[in-house]
Amino acid sequence: MKAILLNDFGGPEVMAFGETRNPEFNSNQVLIRVHATSVNRPDVIQRQGNYPPPPGESSILGLEAAGTIEAVGKDVPIWQAGDRVTALVGGGGYAELVAAWPGHLIRIPDSISFNEAACIPETFLTAYLVLFLLGRLSDGEAVLLHGGGGGVNTAAIQLCRALIRDCKIIVTASTAKLERVAELGADHVVDYRTQEFSSEVRGLTDGQGVDVILDHVGGPYLAGNMRCLAVDGRLLQIGVSEGAQCEINLALLMVKRQQIIGSVLRSRSVEEKADIIRSFTERVMPFFEKGVMVPLISDVLPLAHAAEGHRIMESSRHFGKIVLAVNPENA
């Protein structure tokens, strides 16, 4: 099959479009013919050599893939060859074929294209897991999302809007993305380049702070996050893009009864991921079927141009997701 292969770790130039062996799949898995995949920030970190795939996963980049089932292992119930699916995979998405666990598949509604479906698993599942299953975001609560123009947070804004009644959604973004973040559903936007976010958030919540924060920035944001997190608030940490080390005021954490919860989706067990996907399919997929939720696509490139997709992501020019079309005739 054709795939994106890494010659080395480093910049986007280490990615090459070439031939490699078809993936193996066992009797409990399915093989998917990939029509589209999409770029996630963890792919960039893996390419740089700082995010190795978990044991047993493909070393090919790519955490999600949409396509049709090519072959079904003999012990797999329900799924059939030809089914249109989008899959969460531990690796291997930047390729013509990928192996996946049946519990990690989501049936693609007729109203959704393969390109759109390729933008659902990694970002929507991450946001759903941390905000709703771990963060217990509830009706009437306020949430702060950092980086509203990214893949995870364009999903998070839509999820908060659709699943929570009377949710106050506050979103940080860079200047050029503020307007689009507001159009997508944020109640308030904060320009993280020119404004100090924790004072803004306190002002927007009558000094109370927000109940839940989704952060991927890390160390430099911890003190500000704790300052504008309410009593009994939950801080969900899913990345450390600007540093993993910092000081923490444990007295504040204790007095405000705050919780800091870390999560990585990729390293979870096959069963845990299947449970998350089952819950997501029941609760969230109906919103896609009705057209209430739409994966936001910023750019579509052929798989062979994956390096350009990484350059776009690293320069933060995108708003939403960067799709890699593997079989453009089936977009």
Ligand X SMILES: NC(=O)c1ccc[n+]([C@@H]2O[C@H](COP(=O)([O-])OP(=O)(O)OC[C@H]3O[C@@H](n4cnc5c(N)ncnc54)[C@H](OP(=O)(O)O)[C@@H]3O)[C@@H](O)[C@H]2O)c1
| One character per residue 49-88, x = contact with ligand X (rule: CB under 6 A) | ----------------------------------------
Among 222, 265, 296, 326, which residue sits at the site for ligand X (rule: CB under 6 A)? 265
Point out which span in 38-46, 87-95, 110-118, 301-309 binds ligand X (CB under 6 A). Answer: 38-46
End-to-end CA distance of the chain: 19
Nearer to ligand X, 33 or 172 (CB): 172
Structure tokens at 278: 């089952």
Pick the closer one to ligand X by CB: 5 or 312. 312
Shortest distance (Å) from residue 177 CB to ligand X: 5
Give the whole-angstrom CA distance, residue 66 versus residue 103.
Answer: 15
Say how far residue 330 (Cα) sits from the centre of its chain: 23
Span 82-141, contacts to ligand X by CB under 6 A: 122-123, 126
Query: How many amino acids of this chain bind ligand X (CB under 6 A)?
Result: 28
- The reply to whether 224 sits near ligand X by the rule CB under 6 A is no
Q: What is the smallest separation between the CB atom of 161 and ligand X, expressed in angstroms?
A: 17
* Sequence letter at residue 328: P
Cα 18 from Cα 4, distance rounded (Å): 6
Cα angle value 30/33/39 (rounded, 5°) = 105
Q: Please say whether the beta carbons of 127 and 159 come within 8 A.
A: yes
Does residue number 142 form part of the binding site for ligand X (CB under 6 A)?
A: no
What are the CA-CA distances from residue 166 to residues 139, 142, 184, 187 (Å)?
Answer: 6, 9, 16, 11
- For residue 174, the 8-state DSSP code is -
Which residue type is seen at 47? R
71 vs 134, which CB is nearer to ligand X? 134
Q: Judged by CB under 6 A, which of 62, 92, 151, 209 binds ligand X?
A: 151
Cα 328 from Cα 51, distance rounded (Å): 29
Interface of this chain with ligand X, residues 226 to 255, rule: CB under 6 A: 238-239, 241-242
Distance between CA atoms of residues 98 and 81, nearest Å = 14
Q: Does 310 bind ligand X (CB under 6 A)?
A: no
Q: Nearest approach, Cβ of 309 to ligand X (angstroms)?
A: 11
Burial class for 187, CB neighbours closer than 10 Å (0-12, 13-18, 19+): middle
Query: CB-wise, 33 or 177, nearer to ligand X?
Result: 177
Judged by CB, which is closer to ligand X: 86, or 126?
126
State the Cα–Cα distance between residues 280 and 133, nearest whole angstrom: 10
Which one of residues 67, 91, 149, 209 is an interface residue with ligand X (CB under 6 A)?
149
Cβ atoms within 10 Å of 315's Cβ, excluding its own: 8
Cβ 80 to ligand X shortest distance, Å: 30
Q: How many angstroms separate the CA atoms of 33 and 89, rounded?
A: 13
Taking the complex as a whole, how short is the minimal distance between the CB of residue 68 and ligand X, in angstroms? 25
108 DSSP assignment: P
Answer left, alpha or beta for residue 263, where phi above 0 means left and psi between -120 and 50 means alpha: beta
Pick the piece of the chain touching ligand X (CB under 6 A) from 13-21, 173-181, 273-281, 285-293: 173-181
Q: Rule CB under 6 A: choose which of 3, 31, 38, 41 binds ligand X.
A: 41
42 forms part of the interface with ligand X (CB under 6 A): yes
Residues lying near ligand X in the complex (CB under 6 A) are found at 40-42, 122-123, 126, 146-147, 149-152, 172-174, 177, 192, 216-217, 238-239, 241-242, 263-265, 313, 316
